[in-house]
């Protein structure tokens, strides 16, 4: 049983632990703010102040500060977050398990920032990330994300490149301490986020930056906050890991395993699947003859100024290349000629021709009432993501090749999402794919179980759930290939198998 002790303090606030503790403001431009609740605020010290109700809580041996009101401010005067290079380290502990939350009009209208959990911000109120220049938030939107930005307004990670870095998928477990680290090097366009010493988010592109305000507001009402450090130097991965290890915190092995699965390449189960007698081959094409694309519907990149750079049949397969410009309309879909029904297996070979871009497979794509969205709906023309996440099309989408500026670039991250609820079903990492070599892809859905396999490695093995207010387990729809900008890829040997047990079709 986790021992949970809550200690209420008086109206004064402390910033120093004891005479033997490191100073709060040291001569080498560092700040150490223990936030462990043992001493008072030094009289007349205006560099740290608190306004509003708060408490200190001790959870599994570590004490932290928790504001008790959205109006409570813990303000720190500093300019270190505006330096060209720097690091912020802190410990957080959520008081309840935090994961993704489907955005609903009812609560978002009443509280537009309901999905924002600020860690540090240069603007008050700190929950409104759009009003700040520097901000570091955990968010329950899209995926359970963590994002840090160095630019005014809402951070853009796509067609307008701003200086920000993201951890794409980070659920936080109740009463568990997490060591978080943000490092930056603006001249070299390098931003990093670490969780428990593990590299979890990277940015290496030149993005726009703005001058932040010389103050920080720390913490949020859902988490305890402890051990804040700010350095005027970019700590290395080894230094971040040593800082984490120096706390000698007992490590939750389940949480450690979850983080390693999310952010590192680990050994994956093998699956060499072949269809049984109950599977029916519903469609196949080699994509090596002109007739092999008959009936396929292209959406996006059909008109100037954003036409495909290439779309042609070659002896090796169908070569697709999207425009180089980073924009909403420099993306495209290619939809299958028919619907498929029941359990689904999609086999496909793909060959990346360059180390940039993003490719995803869409499956079980149908209208919200199970109708054929190609036949029943007006034609869609945009290549934007909106078709599969916000335009009345149910589907699963698997991002299997991800090399755009807005995602982690040092590994091949894999993401599976259920739409239009944008429910993340899973994320993991694979080693880098060889450029110029074919790789084998398999999407295998058997009832609620979905496996995503590349080169016989099971990248994702997840289960959907029809009882959590995010639609049924899908079992009908079209298959689609979607490419984002700067993608050049060849596809061949597509096979679609279906299994519709218990349903007899009467013609």
Chain segment 124-160, per-residue pLDDT in tens:
999 999 999 999 999 998 788 999 999 999 877 665 6
* Nearest alpha-carbon partner for 222 in 138, 128, 130, 108: 138
Pick from 21-30, 225-234, 371-380, 465-474: least confident: 21-30
* C-alpha distance from residue 426 to each of 29, 143, 416, 429, 455 (Å): 41, 10, 5, 11, 18
Q: Per DSSP, what are the bridge partners of residue 217?
A: 75, 121
The two structure tokens encoding residue 151: 């630019």
Cite the DSSP H helix spans in 408-476.
none
169 has pLDDT over 50 = yes
Domains in the chain, ordered, with CATH? 4-263 (2.60.120.200), 280-499 (2.60.120.200)
Q: What is the pLDDT of residue 330?
A: 95
23 has pLDDT over 50 = no
Task: Determine the Cα–Cα distance for residues 315 and 47; give it in Å rounded to an integer.
Answer: 69
Peptide bond connecting 412 to the previous residue in cis, omega within 30 degrees of 0 = no
Residue pLDDT, tens place only, 377-408 = 999 999 999 999 999 999 999 999 999 887 88
409 pLDDT band, cuts 50/70/90, is confident
Q: What is the pLDDT of residue 438?
A: 98
Task: Determine the Cα–Cα distance for residues 491 and 284; give it in Å rounded to an integer.
Answer: 13
* C-alpha distance from residue 362 to each of 344, 359, 443, 488 (Å): 12, 10, 10, 18
Q: What is the pLDDT of residue 158?
A: 64
Task: Determine the Cα–Cα distance for residues 344 and 359; give it in Å rounded to an integer.
Answer: 20
Q: Per DSSP, what are the bridge partners of residue 343?
A: 499
* Nearest alpha-carbon partner for 81 in 197, 195, 231: 231
Mean residue pLDDT across the chain:
90
* Nearest alpha-carbon partner for 347 in 450, 493, 455, 477: 493
12 has pLDDT over 80 = no
448 has pLDDT over 90 = yes
65 has pLDDT over 60 = yes
Task: Determine the Cα–Cα distance for residues 48 and 53; give it in Å rounded to an integer.
Answer: 16
Task: Determine the Cα–Cα distance for residues 28 and 463; give it in Å rounded to an integer.
Answer: 51
The two structure tokens encoding residue 26: 């040291």
309 pLDDT band, cuts 50/70/90, is very high
289 pLDDT band, cuts 50/70/90, is very high
The two structure tokens encoding residue 59: 């959870």
* Nearest alpha-carbon partner for 212 in 165, 127, 153, 150: 150
19 has pLDDT over 70 = no
* Nearest alpha-carbon partner for 228 in 96, 82, 124, 76: 76
295 pLDDT band, cuts 50/70/90, is very high
102 has pLDDT over 90 = no
The two structure tokens encoding residue 52: 């509003």
Q: What is the pLDDT of residue 37?
A: 78
């Amino acid at each position: 049983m986790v021992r949970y002790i809550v200690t209420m303090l008086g109206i004064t606030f402390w910033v120093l632990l004891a005479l033997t503790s490191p100073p709060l403001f040291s001569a080498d431009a560092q700040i150490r703010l223990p936030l462990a609740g043992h001493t008072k605020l030094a009289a007349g010290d205006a560099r740290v102040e608190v306004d509003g109700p708060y408490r200190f809580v001790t959870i599994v041996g570590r004490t932290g500060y928790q504001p008790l009101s959205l109006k409570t401010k813990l303000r720190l005067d500093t300019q270190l977050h505006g330096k060209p290079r720097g690091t912020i380290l802190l410990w957080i502990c959520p008081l309840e398990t935090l994961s993704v939350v489907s955005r609903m009009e009812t609560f978002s209208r009443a509280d537009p920032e309901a999905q924002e959990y600020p860690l540090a911000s240069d603007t008050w109120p700190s929950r409104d990330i759009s009003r700040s220049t520097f901000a570091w938030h955990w968010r329950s939107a899209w995926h359970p994300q963590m994002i840090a930005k160095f630019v005014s307004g809402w951070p853009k990670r796509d067609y307008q490149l701003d200086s920000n870095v993201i951890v794409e998928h980070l659920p936080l477990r109740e009463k568990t301490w997490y060591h978080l680290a943000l490092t930056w090097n603006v001249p070299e366009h390098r931003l990093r986020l670490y969780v428990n010493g593990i590299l979890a988010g990277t940015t290496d592109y030149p993005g726009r930056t703005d001058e932040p305000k010389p103050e920080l507001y720390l913490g949020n009402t859902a988490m305890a906050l402890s051990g804040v450090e700010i350095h005027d130097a970019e700590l290395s991965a080894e230094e971040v890991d040593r800082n984490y290890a120096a706390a000698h915190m007992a490590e939750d092995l389940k949480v450690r395993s979850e983080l390693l699965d999310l952010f590192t390449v680990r050994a994956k189960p093998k699956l060499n699947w072949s269809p049984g007698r109950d599977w029916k081959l519903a469609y196949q094409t080699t994509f090596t003859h002109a007739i092999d694309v008959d009936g396929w519907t292209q959406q996006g990149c059909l008109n100037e100024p954003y036409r495909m750079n290439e779309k042609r049949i070659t002896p090796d397969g169908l070569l697709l290349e999207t425009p180089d410009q980073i924009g909403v309309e420099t993306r495209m879909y290619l939809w299958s000629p028919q619907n498929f029904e029941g359990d689904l297996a999609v086999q496909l070979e793909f060959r990346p021709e360059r180390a940039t871009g993003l490719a995803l497979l869409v499956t079980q794509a149908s209208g919200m009432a199970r109708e054929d969205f190609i036949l029943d709906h007006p034609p869609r023309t945009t290549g934007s993501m909106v078709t599969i996440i916000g335009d009345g099309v149910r589907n699963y989408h698997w991002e299997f090749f991800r090399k755009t500026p807005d995602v982690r670039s040092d590994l091949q991250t894999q993401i599976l999402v259920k739409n239009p609820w944008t429910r993340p079903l899973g994320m993991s990492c694979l080693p880098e794919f060889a450029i110029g070599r074919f790789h084998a892809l398999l999407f295998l859905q058997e009832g609620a179980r979905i496996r995503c396999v590349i080169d016989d490695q099971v990248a994702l093995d997840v289960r959907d759930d029809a009882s959590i207010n995010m639609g049924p387990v899908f079992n009908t729809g079209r298959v689609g290939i979607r490419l984002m900008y700067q993608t050049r890829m060849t596809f061949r040997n597509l096979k679609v198998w279906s299994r519709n047990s218990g349903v007899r079709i009467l013609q």
